[in-house]
Amino acid sequence: LDNAQARGEIDVAVHSLKDVTVRLEEHLVLAAFLPREDPHDCLIGPWPRIADLPQGAIVGTSSIRRRSQLLLMRPDLKAVTFRGNVQTRLRKLAEGEAQATILAAAGLRRLGMIDKAAGIIPIEDMRPAGGQGIIGVTLHKQAPDWLAEAVAKVDDKPAHLAAVAERAFLLRLDGSCRTPIAAHFRLTASGAEMVGEVLSDEGDRRWRAEGRLESAPGESDAIELGLALAEKVAAQRAADGR
């Protein structure tokens, strides 16, 4: 899609934001964000809670973040790699390759398959990937004004603020799909709050920071909050020699 936009073959590209690299191609800009779907993760299998999984249970996931968070909660569990789309992962689970798996609630809801979830994992237990549940729209930087204005009309402010805050956190910490990193920003009645964390690959360490904004934020406020939390996490890791 990025290449197609560079060549002028398409005008607009629509992405799952959590899969968009924090450093965009030079010719691209994120021009809009659609309303955020449920950012939670779900446990799939016979048990509704991670605490209910049997001792030493095998859990399939392709996410390094989920693997680390899972092992932080339950070091006795064994995480194995599960790849493929939702249907493929559910088939692997049914065939006994694992006793449970973890999938994003957003994807299941969009597919009309949320009933496959045994339970919704509390966000306090498993913070989402930055941008999870948000659809991002990219345009070429040289897109005509009429197109930029048309795309801007579908931009959702709460999703936009969450996106820029969470991506600022990821950018400062060089977060990617190869990094066990999570970030979650949300508006509150008086302002906003955010939590960001980085985990060790083995899930035996976590560096976390939280912050609040006491008034309605603009885009720059959200970005500053994300960067401030990232600096705190970076300082914690440096103090631990990581």
H/E stretch holding 16 reads strand 12-16
- Classified as helix, coil or strand, 74 is coil
H/E stretch holding 109 reads helix 105-110
H/E stretch holding 208 reads strand 206-213
Tell me phi and psi for residue 207, to 5 degrees.
-120, 120
Q: What is the C-alpha separation between 199 and 131, in angstroms, rounded?
A: 18
Q: Which residues contact 239 (CB under 8 A, 6 or more apart)?
A: none
Number of other residues whose CB lies within 10 A of the CB of residue 118? 14
Burial zone of 124 (CB within 10 Å; 0-12 exposed, 13-18 middle, 19+ buried)? exposed
Structure tokens given for 152:
């801007």
Residues identified as active-site: 19
Structure tokens given for 11:
């005008």
Q: What is the C-alpha separation between 94 and 98, in angstroms, rounded?
A: 8
